[in-house]
Chains A and B, each alone.
Chain A
């Protein structure tokens, strides 16, 4: 039988969770999230022109990193962090010292559930992460650890402990996360369907991971959450989260970790230009036809018992198998290695955080 933590008392985890937000404009959207985010520490990764001042609403406890900080902290390894693309957010994951990360886009607002109640997305992500995933066998009543649900008849008891949950993938009401071609064909389509479910993405199944509303256990899977080389100087954009999702899922499957998708919903307010998006995605639309079969068939050596080792092995496979598709993948594979080096450099045990991770701006309440 599934035993969930008390439904009424989801731990806040306020000292164990960082909220990572990439931005190039202002963070006024935080005003709406204030009741839910105010108690947490924010890591803001400023993309684009570092001389621009980012306006953060008063009263939030945050650290802000711009490109100068990225370069200063990582030195030559900063080459793995994208510029002029929200993929830069993974720098926030790297410098965080917390166990959990929640990342959200600055055009995502608080959604309402069908009863009209405002959704505390962060609380739902925490619930998702703190309860097991059911990776080995699909439960037809979805997440059995939710209140009012359980494992169905036929579900073996030996599988009911589940697997630790590494990632919680939330969804979006209003503007759905469509690719450019779909946006062009259906410019007016809005997602109005509130699906009251959380479910585990089964072991061996890949999915398109969207970075707009995402939480993960940094200690369990952090190094796998590299968002790739996108944006300025790169032939592709809008595939950062996809890339991270495919790598992450392969590694989670290998290590016996779970990924959940479904609730919580946020309200996605801004539809980016489908024409701009098409230019960014264009190569990706072709490359994903190669990348998906690659990820579906890749297998990691048994000796890869840590996320870092898995990731490095995966980088090797990317280089040898996808390198033939386009030289970009060779560059990307190298960047994946650089990322792990950067991760270890910043997060190694002897590291004194104060020395190198000083951000550009901080604010304490």
Chain B
């Protein structure tokens, strides 16, 4: 853990889609217990949450969400999107967010991975989006910039987002997992790297961390599949949000890293059953990816909020007519910016 980061600059936000968080919290106890946690209960979840003792946390449930944003708005926080409420109400600089079906992983030496520490290291060392370093993150211990790396680019830029990975159940889509039902990710890749500028990628919401002060408003609940469900196979909300974040980061000159830390993602759900629901999302990505690759923000967009508003506008203009889902997403993005300004602003 970086000595210059105080524990009280960090919030750990967990979206609870299942009521019993006992084993989840106990597995993470040694890593989480020194931090403040925000647990947001999926407003659709009827059962009471079970949370073990010994943590410093705030729990938000439907009535709390209703109170803060109003009952009509609180629907945007349904399902996996409940975590965004936690991002909204946090007042910390760094947020780390992990799905409630993930445990700490072990590295190749069998040592438990402190995902929080690794995310913080990623966020507090520079990113290098303008030129690819073949030895990956040059700020890692034992690594550096390679021959041929321009010196003027070696100070890098601020890293705004850290995208972690998953052992065991990888974040595959339903068709892929259904075709390879036994496949589990057992490859621990000992690297962090910066995603190059203007390169987009599917940013999974399962294991991420970000600098809330820098890009908070860009992580947003907006695209909701018609059949969105309670398994990641049945959602695209994080992928959509991630595309927005990357476009905004590229425009504002912030970095995005990917790679470590890994979490261990437990087996859950049935890919074949989810196939029907996610097919919609799979089809949408055919439009979504080329669209985001073509988005260019104006020079006037200098803040994250401005960038998000501009993206929303382009979504509305170029995608809105293709599918009502996009039109709704565009509106949700605009509403989010307003919500962020009124509720999420830390001043």
| A residues at B contact (CB < 8 Å) | 1, 114, 136-142, 148-159, 169, 171, 176-179, 182, 186, 189-197, 201-210, 238-239, 241-242, 245, 261, 281, 285, 288-289, 292
Q: Which of A150, A159, A179 contacts B183 (CB 8 A)?
A: A150
- SS class of chain B's interface: helix, strand, loop or mixed? loop
Residues of A within 8 A of B108 (CB): 114
- Assess whether B134 is in contact with A242, with CB atoms less than 8 Å apart: no
In the assembled complex, the Cα of A206 lies from the Cα of B151 at a distance in Å of: 15
Question: Closest 9 CB pairs between A and B?
Answer: A154-B202, A208-B148, A138-B201, A154-B239, A207-B132, A202-B199, A205-B196, A153-B173, A179-B147
In the assembled complex, the Cα of A191 lies from the Cα of B151 at a distance in Å of: 21
Task: Please tell me if B175 contacts chain A, counting CB pairs below 8 Å.
Answer: yes
**Interface stretch of the complex, out of B91-99, B137-145, B313-321:** B137-145
Residues of A within 8 A of B142 (CB): 189-193
- Assess whether A137 is in contact with B134, with CB atoms less than 8 Å apart: no
In the assembled complex, the Cα of A189 lies from the Cα of B133 at a distance in Å of: 17
Task: Please tell me if B28 contacts chain A, counting CB pairs below 8 Å.
Answer: no
In the assembled complex, the Cα of A242 lies from the Cα of B204 at a distance in Å of: 34
Q: Which of A156, A189, A201, A289 contacts B289 (CB 8 A)?
A: A156
Q: Which of B132, B147, B180, B293 contacts A238 (CB 8 A)?
A: B147
Per-residue CB contact flags for chain B residues 264-289 toward chain A (1 = under 8 Å, else 0) read 00000000000000000010011011
Task: Please tell me if B111 contacts chain A, counting CB pairs below 8 Å.
Answer: no
Residues of B within 8 A of A169 (CB): 134
> Interface size bucket, B side?
35 or more
Among B163, B180, B199, B236, residue most surrounded by chain A Cβ atoms (within 10 Å) = B199
- Assess whether A242 is in contact with B150, with CB atoms less than 8 Å apart: no
In the assembled complex, the Cα of A88 lies from the Cα of B247 at a distance in Å of: 43
Residues of B within 8 A of A137 (CB): 200-202, 289
- Assess whether A176 is in contact with B135, with CB atoms less than 8 Å apart: yes
**Interface stretch of the complex, out of B4-12, B47-55, B187-195:** B187-195
In the assembled complex, the Cα of A140 lies from the Cα of B242 at a distance in Å of: 12
Query: Which B residue's beta carbon lies closest to that of A200?
Result: B199
* Known interface pairs A1-B179, A156-B289, A195-B136; A140-B172 also in contact (CB < 8 Å): no
Query: Which B residue's beta carbon lies closest to that of A186?
Result: B144
Q: Which of B187, B199, B200 contacts A149 (CB 8 A)?
A: B187
Q: What are 21 A-B pairs with beta-carbon distances under 8 A?
A: A1-B176, A138-B195, A138-B199, A138-B258, A150-B172, A152-B204, A153-B204, A153-B239, A158-B286, A176-B143, A178-B144, A178-B145, A179-B145, A179-B147, A193-B140, A195-B136, A197-B189, A201-B132, A208-B148, A245-B148, A281-B147
Task: State how many angstroms separate the Cβ of A74 from the closest Cβ of chain B.
Answer: 28
Task: Knowing that A207-B134, A210-B134 touch, tell me 9 more A-B residue pairs with CB under 8 angstroms.
Answer: A137-B200, A148-B186, A149-B187, A153-B204, A155-B173, A182-B144, A193-B140, A208-B149, A292-B153
